[in-house]
Structure 1
């Protein structure tokens, strides 16, 4: 299997005091020309946000922004009038389109752990939209849960030929990965997996074009991006 293996130690690490973040791809002050994204996938930031801190109001446009809360809750407020919490096991998809402003703040007393993911859209200057779902793969392990995509069974619709799925795979269990598009990118949130000849663990990722079977060497959680041809 021809694959691009992205080890966790090659991610950028930035500590801002209230924000401890790991960048899979070049972002803000961390830049590496070898890590500029994969296909339409441009950003995976693994953020831990201290209590009563967060991101002040700031703008975005022409980007599909997916937030996956792993623990705690983050309070979202935006210029479209949306205001509320995104809790552990919930997902938010903000299609920035022509432009939005938003803030994300941890109003609780415990740290919040989340992934922020950016997908480059295939449609520019569209009307901004907001979507949010509760879908925790821990509730139904050992199967894929589609989070966002263009297929009819995708609970959130994304402006790109991309399907995004999540799974919790228990130790010793197998899970088939059969893509719809051109390229797979699997990011490991927790645990350890065997994907073909590669062993990947927390923070690692693997990009490849084959359909494969994934084996859990430990109880594991992952997110799978089924991406268009670069």
Structure 2
């Protein structure tokens, strides 16, 4: 199946400094049909006002990936990690046996990002944080693993049975991606695309729409406009 989940129908909250939209149940948004997709548990589209952010708070046993769409996010945690992640880049936090962290937009303009949580395949691992400066042009016309529990070269490791990929596609171009039936969720960060399944199913998605995919051997992503795509593929939950 391939199911379109329009941005306008996602869960949402507005705290003034934070405007968030939820692809899956989160905080006060509850949807029994949208608890997870494979091992993917959370996909939030957050817009954070300048000079504001999330004060220190704890997490345990979750793989948390932040993909920055515009602006930048500054991370600090109790382990002494500190860093700034810019648009087009990711940071990965393995909450593991417990981490206390804060995330702030220290910029002069709004920051927009995807906050993505993946259920881990190991509990109680040492907590950690990592960011890597991935070359943006390496993703032109293809999806590249940026974070992975599958040993993909160059990707930030995950304690999870899955991977997060990103790529850019020019209008009129397309990408083919093997999925082998695995649960997959993709969101265009920018632009408009068409997703074509191996079973003939076709959906059109615009920026911030979600596309839930399962039981497809392969998909073709066709850019109707210049597009930036983020995709998470995981194993099924037992």
Question: How far 1:180 sits from its partner (Å)?
Answer: 5.8
Mapping for residues 107-186 of structure 1, pairs under 5 Å: 107-135=106-134, 137=136, 140-149=139-148, 150-179=150-179, 182-186=182-186
In structure 1, C-alpha distance between the alignment counterparts of 2:181 and 2:65, rounded to whole Å: 20
Give, in whole Å, the separation in 1 of the partners of 2:88 and 2:122: 29
The count of corresponding residues between Structure 1 and Structure 2 is 229
Q: Which aligned pairs between 1:28-39 and structure 2 lie closer than 5 A?
A: 28-39=27-38
Distance in 2, matches of 1:168 and 1:137, equals 9
Hey, what does 1:12 align to over in structure 2? 11
Contact 2:62 2:118 (8 Å CA) reproduced: yes
Question: Cα–Cα, structure 1 residues 169 and 72, in superposed 2: closer, same or farther, change >3 Å?
Answer: same
Q: Indicate the SS of the match to 1:185.
A: strand
Candidates 221, 224, 227, aligned match of 1:214:
221
Task: Report which stretch shifted further, 183-192 or 51-60.
Answer: 183-192
Q: RMSD of the TM alignment (CA)?
A: 1.6
Quote the Cα distance in structure 1 between the aligned partners of 2:137 and 2:9: 28
Q: Give the gaps of 5 or more residues in structure 1.
A: none
Q: Distance in 2 between matches of 1:200 and 1:168?
A: 15
TM-score (norm: length of structure 2): 0.91
Please state whether the residue corresponding to 2:36 is helix, strand or coil: coil
CA contact (8 A) 2:5 2:211 kept: yes
> 2:3·2:203 contact (CA, 8 Å) conserved in 1?
no
Q: Provide closer, same or farther for how the CA distance between residues 177 and 152 of structure 1 changes in structure 2, counting only shifts above 3 A.
A: closer
- SS in structure 2 opposite 1:84? strand
Secondary structure, counterpart of 2:205 in structure 1:
strand
CA distance in 2, matches of 1:157, 1:113: 24
Structure 2 unaligned blocks of 5 or more: 197-201
Counterpart for residue 205 of structure 2: 200
